[in-house]
Structure 1
Amino acid sequence: MSPRLFGGLVLPASADFHVHLRDGAMLEAVAGTIKSGGVDTVFVMPNLVPPITTVEHALAYKEAIARYTDATLLMSLYLHPSITPDTIRQAKKAGLFGVKSYPAGVTTNSASGVVDYEQFYPLFKAMEEEDLVLNLHGEAPPAQDITVLNAEEAFLPTLLDLHRRFPKLRIVLEHCTTAAAIEAVKKCGPNVVGTITAHHLFLIIDDWAGDPINFCKPVAKLPTDRVALLQAATSGNPKFFLGTDSAPHPLSAKKGGLGIHEAGKCAAGVFTQPYATQLVLEAFEDAVTKGVVEKSRLSQVVLEGFLGGFGRKFYQIDHDGEKIRILAKDEKVISMLSVGGEAGANSTTRDVVIPFRRDSPIYSLEWIQTK
């Protein structure tokens, strides 16, 4: 489909409230793509190895990222037994924004994740008092009756219980993938919101089954779930805003091995960072074309809200005034991003990251000088 609906549109710079930037050579490769996606603010996830469990580590990581981008960086801690209420108070004073919870074993670098939330109740109370955000990867840990298809829905009672116990605690249900998750967020009070990724606005189960590039956690679900996400994202409801969960992995890890004689599990993560804003607009346009979303829903207010305004209000941050212009050109998503060197005939597969919808037509954008 030739993109036309949003050509010439001027928007405030987007804010992405869920990104993975990694470290080392991968950080150097991907941090510079943030602004390519029309984004000037990112909430950075803490699931490094080792995970970020101290204020000092979070600030050092922020300094490392800032070598490669001038985007505003919102930093977080990894929910871990070593974190105390005093850590939370230190985090607030240091300007950190949240604490990310990973159920043990569900996704990349989650081995140190949560098994039982009750042990963290004193921590959540301190977060409530300090007004620090709890960011939830909303999936139940692996169990006999839990699969990738029902793990999110199985987690929703935990979300509702935490909200009941800590009604003043600001909570984000990250990367919603189901209609049930959307309804659960709606059911909660104004302190509970949900992020929606760009790739889940496109994908259903058939798109990742057999395609490692589209495989992520939580996995994309049914067509009815995708419709629910699209309708939530275009509803103008401030409870829902963009968090791409952009997660780069070397191609070798996505293919489940390090060489032709090795095999393993496919790494979970979809890399969307260089096209964050553009992909959302492509998904919205496609939804209009297919009759899933009415064109009249896509007002300037709705677009600005989902792409940054609602999230900035929730996180209590200001927009610095930067703007972007969307252009309908003959641009395509890049085939690969080189990591630690130039990609080419002599490169190994571990040196590249494959972006979501590689080689597909995509909106262009440009930054508008506002000063």
Structure 2
Amino acid sequence: MTDTITLSRPVADFHVHVRDGDMMKLVVPTIKSGGVSLAYIMPNLVPPLTCVSDVLAYKSRLEAIDPTITYLMTLYLSPAITPQVIHDAAKAGITGVKCYPAGVTTNSEHGVASYAPYYPTFAAMEQHDMVLNLHGECPSGNHVHVLNAEQEFLPTLKDIHTRFPKLRIVLEHCTSAAAIQAVKDCGPTVAATITAHHLFLTIDNWAGNAFNYCKPVAKFPTDRQALLEAATSASAKFFFGSDSAPHPIANKEKGNGAAAGVFTQTHVAAYVAEAFDQVGKLDRLNGFLCEFGRQFYNVPQEKPTNWTVVLKKQQNVVPALLGQGPCAVAPFKAGETLNWKVEIVDMAT
């Protein structure tokens, strides 16, 4: 029985929310403690990051907190993201552009209502080899609701891919068997991230439990099984993106609707090891966590690390809270005992 796993290199998390201000100061130090050395940072701040200088300033704030992490940065797709901005962003080393459908999730009010106006931007991204990150849902209304919003979006994914076949596209945080199949059906320039929490959750786990509520929502047991099979398949089309999203407890308990997001950053590698262990696929862990995402993104250079990640099979109680006061955040599975624990090992010793 495997009870110790040394990863080939630290985890690459290709979907990370760390917010700004006091929340950023609380959350950024937990990136490394979860086993991660490369973090792909989302741009849905308030206001959103829609110009190159703001993205670079944000990166500087992150590096001031933990300069050892490699931060890959993104822009927020909006009318401000013109082909010229894409040119400037590529020159500045910005990796991708995140597309939020208007109103579907946290801080998406400035998001996209129609994709056709962005075709020139997508063409420029294709030319500069930047990545398009899609939050794959249609806004609710008429026949669309939280349980079919992802499936209703999939024709849009396929249409963008057909129009721009060389554009690298990531369908973020897949939650359904239909999304997994759609990614498989597309060519090699389309991949997907799968979160840690969606490897555990189904609709029963978030209905009535705000701390497990995220967008897109977890769906049915058959969908969860499809996510597990994809994550453990050793297919390079599927790699890790935590979508770890910190919200103050007060925002998860609001009477007018809980904020969408599950916070996993502190234990990400342990959560994924737990899920892979449950289906007897620990031998597939390294590719999913460490290798496939780096390959898809063609990560040119990372900051050197003098530490490695060792996963040990031992009891690991998830704390009830991270932080205190107005920014206190409840981690995923707060108070529960995991069977795996992340250890950061200093190679210099």
Q: TM-score, normalised by structure 1?
A: 0.90
Q: What is the aligned residue count? A: 342
1:66-114 Cα deviation digits (max 9, x unpaired)? 1222211000000000111010011111111000000000000000000
SS in 2 for 1:279: helix
Paired residues of 1:141 and 1:151 also in contact (CA < 8 A): yes
Paired residues of 2:161 and 2:186 also in contact (CA < 8 A): yes
Does structure 1 residue 323 correspond to structure 2 residue 308? yes
Paired residues of 2:273 and 2:282 also in contact (CA < 8 A): no
Does structure 1 residue 271 correspond to structure 2 residue 289? no
- Structure 1 residue runs of 5 or longer lacking an equivalent are 257-262, 289-294
Q: Distance in 2 between matches of 1:314 and 1:231?
A: 20
SS in 2 for 1:66: helix
Q: Tell me the equivalent position of 1:359.
A: 335
Q: Taking structure 1 as reference, are residues 138 and 6 closer, same or farther at Cα in structure 2, changes over 3 Å only?
A: farther
SS in 2 for 1:207: helix
SS in 1 for 2:30: coil
Q: Tell me the equivalent position of 1:56.
A: 53
* 1:1-371 pair list within 5 angstroms: 6-11=2-7, 12-69=9-66, 70-256=68-254, 263-286=255-278, 288=279, 295=280, 297-299=281-283, 302-317=284-299, 318=301, 320=304, 322-338=307-323, 343=324, 347=325, 350-362=326-338, 363-370=340-347
Paired residues of 2:172 and 2:192 also in contact (CA < 8 A): yes
Letter in 2 for 1:42: A
The alpha carbon displacement at 1:360 in A equals: 1.4
Q: Taking structure 1 as reference, are residues 212 and 36 closer, same or farther at Cα in structure 2, changes over 3 Å only?
A: same
Paired residues of 1:6 and 1:326 also in contact (CA < 8 A): no
Q: Distance in 1 between matches of 2:215 and 2:49?
A: 20
Q: Distance in 2 between matches of 1:29 and 1:250?
A: 11
Letter in 2 for 1:316: N
SS in 2 for 1:80: coil
Query: RMSD in angstroms over aligned alpha carbons?
Result: 1.3
- Structure 2 residue runs of 5 or longer lacking an equivalent are none
Q: Distance in 2 between matches of 1:37 and 1:159?
A: 31
Q: Distance in 1 between matches of 2:315 and 2:285?
A: 23
Paired residues of 1:213 and 1:270 also in contact (CA < 8 A): yes
Identity of aligned pairs, percent? 54
SS in 1 for 2:125: helix
Letter in 2 for 1:274: T
The alpha carbon displacement at 1:264 in A equals: 1.3
Q: Distance in 2 between matches of 1:368 and 1:171?
A: 34
The alpha carbon displacement at 1:224 in A equals: 0.2
Q: Distance in 1 between matches of 2:239 and 2:195?
A: 9
Q: Distance in 1 between matches of 2:92 and 2:160?
A: 26
Q: TM-score, normalised by structure 2?
A: 0.95
Q: Distance in 2 between matches of 1:334 and 1:59?
A: 33
Letter in 2 for 1:337: L
After TM superposition, the runs of 4+ consecutive aligned structure 1 residues lying more than 3 A away are 318-322
SS in 1 for 2:64: coil
Q: Distance in 2 between matches of 1:186 and 1:330?
A: 36
The alpha carbon displacement at 1:329 in A equals: 2.9
Letter in 2 for 1:298: L
Letter in 2 for 1:330: Q
Q: Distance in 1 between matches of 2:184 and 2:19?
A: 32
Q: Distance in 2 between matches of 1:370 and 1:205?
A: 42
